[in-house]
Amino acid sequence: MTQETVRALADKELTQVIAWAQDEQRVRAEQRKHDTISKIKEMAGAAGISVSIHSKRGRPQKAKSNAVASRASK
């Protein structure tokens, strides 16, 4: 697809192409994620290591202490 092709599209057609492209990007990103997780698990298994990968990213949130929570509510 060229810029000329995109420019020739009507607004409604352009909106649909954008939606399709965004959906395709999400599908590809999800597939890359699954492929990467599979590779990590395979490599870990070959090294005799057990790996558990969950869907959440980053560190878990720290629990607020009662003192911090009471100050925040005032």
Question: What is the number of structural domains in the chain?
Answer: 1
pLDDT-derived band at 50, boundaries 50, 70, 90: confident
The verdict on residue 16 lying in a domain is yes
In whole angstroms, give the CA distance from residue 41 to residue 27: 21
Structural domain including 17 reads 1-49
Whole-model pTM: value is: 0.62
The verdict on residue 63 lying in a domain is no
> Closest Cα partner for 40 from 31, 59, 53?
53
- Give tens-digit pLDDT for 12-39: 999 999 999 999 999 999 999 999 999 9
Q: In angstroms, what is the C-alpha Rg of the chain?
A: 23
- Mean pLDDT, the chain, rounded, equals 86
